[in-house]
Structure 1
Amino acid sequence: MAIEDFALMLLTGLVALFLVAVHAQDDQSGFVSIDCGLPQDANYTDAITGINYVSDAGFIGTGVISSAVSAAASQPFKTLRSFPQGTRNCYTLRPSPGKGSKYLIRAGFWYGNYDGKNQLPEFDLYLGVDYWDTVTLNSSSPSSLEIIHVLSSDFLHVCLVNTGRGTPFISTLELRNLNVTMYATTAGSLQTFARLDLGSTSTRPIRYRDDMNDREWTPYNDIANTTAISTSLDVDSTKVFNVFRPPSEVMKTAVVPENARSGLSFSWEAQNLADQFYVYMYFAEVQVLKPNQSRVFEVDLNGELWSGPFAPAYLMAYTVYSPAAEKTRLSYQVVFTQNSNSTLPPLLNAIEIYKVKLILSPQTVDQDVDAIMNVKSTYGVKRNWEGDPCIPQANMWDGLSCSPDSIGTPRIVSLNLSMSGLTGNISSDISGLTMLQTLDLSGNNLSGQVPSFLSQLTFLRVLNLKGNNFTGPLPHELLAKSKDGSLSLIVGGDDKSTSTGNTSDDKKKKKKAVAPLVASILGALTFGVLVVLLIVWMVRRRKQQGPIAKIESQRMLGKEVALELELKSQQFTYSSILKMTNNLKTILGKGGFGTVYLGYKGDCPIAVKMLSPSSVQGYKEFQAEASLLVNVHHKNLTSLVGYCMDGHNLGIIYEYMANGNLANHLSEKSSQNLSWKKRLQIAYDAAQGLEYLHHGCTPPIVHRDIKCTNILLDDNFRAKLADFGLSRIFPVDGSTHVTTVVAGTRGYLDPEYYKSSRLTEKSDVYSFGVVLLEIITGRRALGENDYIHVSKWVSGMLDKGGIGLVVDSRLRGDFNADCAWRGVEVAIACVSPQPTKRPTMTFVVSELKECLMEMMNPPVVQSEDSTRMMSLNLHSSLNPIPR
């Protein structure tokens, strides 16, 4: 068989499979079509479009149903739902497929003077917690807003927000599942700006079934100095594989210039300079050309060649589109120019223009949303429980408290349903709120036995069940947690459950009297156990002959235990500490296990970190940091000056870093701004220190708490890593990870480590990637008033405009653009969700070193670079990112 024949067979087979997939959509399985205001359980098939509509009653619990007045309204617009109560009312949908799927989302509105006021309202529409657009209306016809959006969650919230300019309402809400390869852009969301069917004589938009994706193609014939041409034959979008699949009815018509020499052109205006657009143009030859005729043309956008020259094929749809967002400007002009060898003028069948819409805010974790929605349904909760449970914070559901997890995703940590008239058993759906710390179900009419699954909520610290009608014994696991103090269990009132003992006033008094004594005994025992364990650990470490942990332990007279470090000359008494610090007068900051004070050893300033007497965890951190500083030395790690182990007074003395920590200098409150060169040098210094811990020590050391506050700057702004209290040493058996209790700082904590407790060197690499992004952008890892992680913000800004929008604006453009691109590429690779795709610190050091070498040339201001686009996502590999 010839290769050409085989290729033809293969192509035919692929086309056949594609057509099967196309026809599989005829059942509208990828559609969600909601007629807002339709009575509950009602549904119908629209006679015009053939689309099946259902009531919105199952998607929202607020609002008032009304009928449209206009007799001209089509069936989906004859009813609507308005929201005279509340500022924010939300539809909650769970389309299938969910997370990661791409949808065309369309909201329809037709005022029709339904309320008799004849005043058009204006209000805002939100997708999740992000602003979508402001709804402005035409009283005599329907209006709609569209957006193409990739779901970041299994849940989708569409919210109407009252802005004080009239009562919000909605007529239809429609979702259309799209092929993920359609309208591909890392921007994530594209808002429809225009979708035009040129040369059409139709009196209504082309929709389903002509377009199996139900896009609305608006007939448009207002391009000046053009004339329409058409065909009665079908135009095929499958013979030449076209993922956009423009409908044949749209492609049958086109416009051409009346005067071939004048060409064909059209333009549009941006609302502001920050707007970014994607353009999709559709071409098909609809005339049978004679042998001596040809139609060849090229397309220019704002004076630059955009595509071509090319000749559209007869009755075959061809799409030319933006691979990245077009350069920002206030006006855009497209010009079609006839090629010198062409006998016919250019044509255009259809066009789509989309505006980039950044939808960045993370939604509450699906598991929590699932659980709380089920709780709402089970108990029929009537509160302001609309939209996302946790965000925005101003609209957090009543009775809930939320907190971001290690990567900034909101989690429900407190649920208060006291005095809510709840009946029946405690819902098992509560078990899905795995991050709950407080649960208050008091003052209801709950009955049955208290379920044992409550004891499986790992983080639960307060459980209030008082004032219900429970029967039977309390679960043994809950009683055990109550007795060991890990859970405050409150029962009593009308319930008949077996008491835990903490509801008796007498026992409470006894408990209060005994508590100080018990605490003292436990404190002494804990301290003793820690010392014994430390001695055993040190002996084992010395047998391994590693360079770390050469701390000697010995028992002193009486009950006092002191740990002596090898370097006797570096040991200081507590009285000398007081003298050096002027009685601990000047506080420099607060560290992991205590307070840091300014002191002087002679004329040389020093920093003295003293352990808080009440910090048991701090005692462990003191041991770790002391052992590491004694035995590990590098120019980019803080140096040990001495230590204090005088009775219960424990402290570490290290070199004073005159310019404090990096976080203070990146803060907007900082009086001086770090230059671009200083930022690169700091990043390089910190990377070298971390590389030494990973690759210069045997066995390797993982810092576990890399963040800007733990990067200190000397008087020349050279950086050193500090605060080694959480550091962990890898075993000498060649293991690639150790399993530990998760520790670190929110925003910098490796998501994979957080989920698995498996600590690797790549956990530090993730944290350093976040630090590098902070250095470049001047933004915090997580903002104070939002949950947007700096990595997500950077990705969104690059999609929107380029490197100029990412680099800290306080630099006023005084930076090297190539270095900035390289720095961002390295940082994004570091924060890859997959540890195996993160680089080593050796690679990071090499890249940053090259950046510094480039700085031998004067900084280059590249104003035009703000329009360069970079295709970027958080799953980037180590391959260079295209610029």
Structure 2
Amino acid sequence: MTAQLPWLLLFVLAAGGGVRQVRGQGAPDTTGFISIDCGLPEKSSYVDDATKLTYVSDAGFTDAGVNRNVSAEYINNPSFVSNRNRNVRSFPGATRSCYTLSSLTPGSKYLIRATFLYGNYDGLGRLPAFDLHLGVNFWTTVNVTTIDQAELTEVITVVRDDFVQVCLVNTGSGTPFISGLDLRPLGSSLYPQANTTQGLVLYTRRNFGTTDPKQVVRYPDDPYDRVWTPWNVADEWAEISTTEKVGGATISPPSAVMQTAITPRNASKNIEFTLYPVPNHVYPAPRYIGLVHFAELQRLAANATRQFYLTVNGKLWYALPIKPDYLFANTIYDKEANDPLDVYHVSINATANSTLPPIINAIEVFSAISTANIGTDGQDVSAITAIKARYQVNKNWMGDPCAPKSLAWDGLSCSYDVSGPPRITNVNISYSGLNGDISPYFAKINTIESLYGDNPNLCSNGNSCQIKKKKSNNAIYIAVPIVAFVLVGTLVLLLRLMRKKKAKSGVNPRNGNEHNMMQLENRRFTYRELEVITNNFKRVLGKGGFGSVYDGFLEDGTQVAVKLRSQSSNQGRDGNAGSLSWRQRLRIALESAQGLEYLHKACSPPFLHRDVKTSNILLNANHEAKIADFGLLKAFQHDDDTHVSTVRVVGTHGYLAPEYAAALQLTEKSDVYSFGVVLLEMITGQPPILRCPNPMNIIQWVQQRLAHGNIDNVVDIHIRGNCNVNAAWKVADIALKCTAQSPTQRPTMTDVVMQLQECLKLEEGS
């Protein structure tokens, strides 16, 4: 007789099961934990009795769906319904509905768990089935099989961005709903099979040997809050246990799991159990990864030996005999997913010279899923999300705008390039009934080819809400000209030769006149005014990633540069342009740093740029650099303020400081972080996010290569051998200090300026 294991384990904690806890120990760190009770009223929260974890409402994580309570016959039965399973969030009428979990660390590993208890919340008595997506990648099919018992599914994944979305997708087999959603940070050494292109979906996680069938081990005994459910077949397996702590490597289960094990009641028998694959419409032949954990719990006599083999379907899974260490966990695991099988018969057999029967403490099995699909370009997502919020678009705009193709947002057209993320190319808003002024965020989608109107209350300038319609197909084609028109302050880049101005006019940068000049830089301009300022766009200063830059003069004679978006623009540096020398790069870096230092120190109150990146550094004919694009400029309220709070994250993916994404609080060190990324780009010639072959930010890329002690491993090939090695090392050191995770460890821009001046002296001296 063999024990058989079902899929989607019944969540016995929800059925009144207890959580084993080790008394007298401090609770592990919960930094980064997200614990959501879906359907809980907005602003509500509570502390779970068993884990002491705080659960919050899901209102701040999604703007879709409705809250519902499970039916009275289940909600009043506390024997199997925990607090978080008394209510659900349901998503009727929607194709895809998503939760956004933010403030994550790109490149880090997380466990994400979703729970579902139907409880006849809708009074229909029909058990639904629907798909679950992790961002733009398929996670699993949720097939609810019982009314009154909770089921869970879990995935381990490496996130690319500072957020991840969990989406419920209606497949026509019932309305999607969810009871709970958890996110737990994992150590980087845990589950090495999970990476940026492969996720692990939990098939089972079992704790052998506990006598209480309802005793679950999770937080705080497991610092990562993994759920270890008991498994014991009393008539076949005998329990072995210890009260001593069981140690192990990071990959090992917690001591509370490893303190119990099973062994055959008949010493001459084997330990056997069977696992059956669970296919779905995306993975009809799932591939599994197993981790089996052993520890000797008995101090063996000198003449006693416990040694055994592990086989699957009669074949050795591990070539050598297993001899567990006393009070220390040993783990055997697959490095890669196995080829699909129809069934998995697992047998643990004692070797011929073993005097004791085999044991097993715990097992984990995962199916491998692909997470290689990437979402829409981050800048496009930020822009279209801001547009959605600005106009309160109520169409089916949930999840990623372009991916997967079958779930792309209504009214959007996208381009799909195998070498990069999807990009938004067309926005059709002709039937949305929009009103107000045209959002400047349309200009942030720099691959957009057309924008359709037929919204008579949509303003083309700040004083009028009347747009003259063309007669072509009852729609307004407002591509490049109107985009240029609505660039307002964000694309009018006022570049002052500040030091020269101060020298000529004697203006004190801390008096009111200078502050008024900065106010002028955020002024709105009409397209007609831009024509006057630039003398009908007569003199081209250069071409950037967004389009051409034109010379111009304001009414008071102030020289400015006007950046005008072109239809064929592609934000970023021109890969065909001649490469700048190392000395030119150093001088550009220094002058850019001085510009940021001016914003931080010379203005009263100080300013934060918020969008420091290479494409916002403009060069004149002499390669003199000026910081540009002040559309996201943010001022401190007072000189002595320590930070500026915002309601949402703006900026460019790859340049954002981690604390800004986490707490929506900006400091001068946020700009310093972004400038550090710029310095790394300058040294390496690489983009802020590399894809070689897996996505990685430039900071990690440089750190890994510099670990070998050779600066040539990171220096741009165009300048390699033509730069002062000491200067290159010093700039790399400055850049890495600027991009330190903790803001307190980053230098000020004044420090950066001084260091770069020394680097330039080193280079010029050579």
Inter-partner Cα distance in structure 2 for 1:208 and 1:173: 15
Q: For 1:316-327, list aligned pairs within 5 A.
A: 316-327=328-339
Inter-partner Cα distance in structure 2 for 1:390 and 1:24: 46
Cα contact 2:287–2:367 (8 A) shared by 1: yes
Deviations 1:202-253 (A, max 9, x none): 314221111111111111113873212212x14333xx4x122412221111
Q: For 1:415-494, list aligned pairs within 5 A.
A: 415-417=427-429, 420=432, 427=439, 429-439=441-451, 443-444=456-457, 446=459, 449=462, 461-463=480-482, 474-475=526-527, 476-477=529-530
1:82 to 2:90 alignment: yes
Q: For 1:50-89, list aligned pairs within 5 A.
A: 50-69=52-71, 70=74, 71=77, 72-89=80-97
Taking structure 1 as reference, are residues 364 and 294 closer, same or farther at Cα in structure 2, changes over 3 Å only?
A: same
Query: Aligned match of 1:395 in 390, 393, 407?
Result: 407
Inter-partner Cα distance in structure 1 for 2:411 and 2:250: 47
Taking structure 1 as reference, are residues 480 and 308 closer, same or farther at Cα in structure 2, changes over 3 Å only?
A: farther
Cα contact 2:437–2:462 (8 A) shared by 1: yes
Inter-partner Cα distance in structure 1 for 2:695 and 2:120: 53
Query: Aligned match of 1:200 in 195, 210, 226?
Result: 210
Q: Matched residue of 2:190: which SS?
A: coil
Cα contact 2:42–2:58 (8 A) shared by 1: yes
Cα contact 2:95–2:396 (8 A) shared by 1: no
Who is 1:188 aligned against?
198
Letter in 2 for 1:474: T
Indicate the RMSD between aligned Cα atoms, in angstroms.
4.5
Cα contact 2:111–2:186 (8 A) shared by 1: yes
Q: Matched residue of 1:369: which SS?
A: helix
Inter-partner Cα distance in structure 2 for 1:472 and 1:270: 62
Who is 1:352 aligned against?
364
Deviations 1:491-539 (A, max 9, x none): xxxxxxxxxxxxxxxxxxxxxxxxxxxxxxxxxxxxxxxxxxxxxxxxx
1:176 to 2:188 alignment: no
Who is 2:394 aligned against?
382
Taking structure 1 as reference, are residues 93 and 480 closer, same or farther at Cα in structure 2, changes over 3 Å only?
A: farther
Cα offset, 1:384, TM superposition: 1.4
Cα offset, 1:447, TM superposition: 8.4
Inter-partner Cα distance in structure 2 for 1:114 and 1:235: 44
Taking structure 1 as reference, are residues 35 and 204 closer, same or farther at Cα in structure 2, changes over 3 Å only?
A: same
Cα offset, 1:326, TM superposition: 2.5
1:49 to 2:51 alignment: yes
Q: Matched residue of 2:257: which SS?
A: helix
| Structure 1: unaligned runs, 5 residues or longer | 1-22, 451-458, 486-616, 618-726, 734-753, 757-827, 839-883
Inter-partner Cα distance in structure 1 for 2:578 and 2:433: 54
Q: Matched residue of 1:261: which SS?
A: coil
Cα contact 2:286–2:367 (8 A) shared by 1: yes
Deviations 1:571-613 (A, max 9, x none): xxxxxxxxxxxxxxxxxxxxxxxxxxxxxxxxxxxxxxxxxxx
Deviations 1:88-127 (A, max 9, x none): 2222222x33432211111110011112222211222222
Inter-partner Cα distance in structure 2 for 1:220 and 1:479: 79
Cα offset, 1:256, TM superposition: 0.4
Cα offset, 1:380, TM superposition: 2.8
Inter-partner Cα distance in structure 2 for 1:141 and 1:61: 27
Q: Matched residue of 2:210: which SS?
A: coil
Letter in 2 for 1:443: P
Taking structure 1 as reference, are residues 153 and 830 closer, same or farther at Cα in structure 2, changes over 3 Å only?
A: closer
TM-score by length of 1: 0.48
Who is 1:243 aligned against?
250
Cα offset, 1:141, TM superposition: 0.7
Cα offset, 1:386, TM superposition: 0.4
Taking structure 1 as reference, are residues 24 and 406 closer, same or farther at Cα in structure 2, changes over 3 Å only?
A: farther
Cα contact 2:113–2:154 (8 A) shared by 1: yes
Inter-partner Cα distance in structure 2 for 1:479 and 1:388: 41
Cα contact 2:246–2:255 (8 A) shared by 1: yes
Letter in 2 for 1:84: P
Deviations 1:126-172 (A, max 9, x none): 22233222212221210111111122333322222222222211111
Query: Aligned match of 2:169 in 155, 158, 161?
Result: 161
Who is 1:130 aligned against?
137
Letter in 1 for 2:68: S
Who is 1:330 aligned against?
342
Inter-partner Cα distance in structure 2 for 1:246 and 1:25: 17
Taking structure 1 as reference, are residues 730 and 98 closer, same or farther at Cα in structure 2, changes over 3 Å only?
A: closer
Cα offset, 1:484, TM superposition: 7.1
Taking structure 1 as reference, are residues 380 and 262 closer, same or farther at Cα in structure 2, changes over 3 Å only?
A: same
Q: Matched residue of 1:114: which SS?
A: coil
1:100 to 2:107 alignment: yes
Who is 2:308 aligned against?
297
Taking structure 1 as reference, are residues 755 and 402 closer, same or farther at Cα in structure 2, changes over 3 Å only?
A: farther
Cα contact 2:287–2:337 (8 A) shared by 1: yes
Who is 1:141 aligned against?
149
Letter in 2 for 1:113: N
Cα contact 1:235–1:284 (8 A) shared by 2: no
Taking structure 1 as reference, are residues 314 and 406 closer, same or farther at Cα in structure 2, changes over 3 Å only?
A: closer
Inter-partner Cα distance in structure 2 for 1:755 and 1:290: 73
Cα offset, 1:837, TM superposition: 9.6
1:91 to 2:103 alignment: no
Answer 1 or 2: which has greater helix percent.
Answer: 1
Q: For 1:811-830, list aligned pairs within 5 A.
A: none
Q: Matched residue of 1:316: which SS?
A: coil
Q: Matched residue of 1:267: which SS?
A: strand
When structure 1 is superposed on structure 2, of 164-173 and 126-135 the one drifting more is 126-135
Larger RCO of the pair (alpha carbons < 8 Å, separation 6+): 2
Who is 1:118 aligned against?
125
Taking structure 1 as reference, are residues 472 and 257 closer, same or farther at Cα in structure 2, changes over 3 Å only?
A: closer
Deviations 1:17-69 (A, max 9, x none): xxxxxx99834222111111111122221112222111111222221210123
Deviations 1:259-306 (A, max 9, x none): 232222222123468321111111112223233323222323331251
Who is 1:372 aligned against?
384
Taking structure 1 as reference, are residues 434 and 465 closer, same or farther at Cα in structure 2, changes over 3 Å only?
A: closer
Taking structure 1 as reference, are residues 328 and 405 closer, same or farther at Cα in structure 2, changes over 3 Å only?
A: closer
Inter-partner Cα distance in structure 1 for 2:125 and 2:190: 41
- Percent identity, aligned pairs only, is 38
Inter-partner Cα distance in structure 2 for 1:830 and 1:34: 31
Q: Matched residue of 1:139: which SS?
A: coil
| Structure 2: unaligned runs, 5 residues or longer | 1-24, 464-477, 490-522, 539-567, 569-574, 582-614, 618-691, 703-711, 715-766
Taking structure 1 as reference, are residues 217 and 478 closer, same or farther at Cα in structure 2, changes over 3 Å only?
A: farther
Inter-partner Cα distance in structure 1 for 2:89 and 2:142: 15
Who is 1:341 aligned against?
353
Q: For 1:726-805, list aligned pairs within 5 A.
A: none
Taking structure 1 as reference, are residues 265 and 61 closer, same or farther at Cα in structure 2, changes over 3 Å only?
A: same
Letter in 1 for 2:276: E
Letter in 2 for 1:350: A
Q: Matched residue of 1:374: which SS?
A: helix
Inter-partner Cα distance in structure 2 for 1:120 and 1:178: 33
Letter in 1 for 2:65: G
Larger Rg computed on CA atoms: 1
Who is 1:559 aligned against?
none
Inter-partner Cα distance in structure 2 for 1:219 and 1:435: 54
Query: Aligned match of 1:306 in 298, 303, 318?
Result: 318
Letter in 2 for 1:199: G
Q: Matched residue of 2:324: which SS?
A: coil
Taking structure 1 as reference, are residues 393 and 310 closer, same or farther at Cα in structure 2, changes over 3 Å only?
A: closer
Q: Matched residue of 1:123: which SS?
A: strand
Letter in 2 for 1:167: T
Q: Matched residue of 1:371: which SS?
A: helix
Q: For 1:503-514, list aligned pairs within 5 A.
A: none
Cα offset, 1:85, TM superposition: 1.3
Cα contact 2:438–2:458 (8 A) shared by 1: no
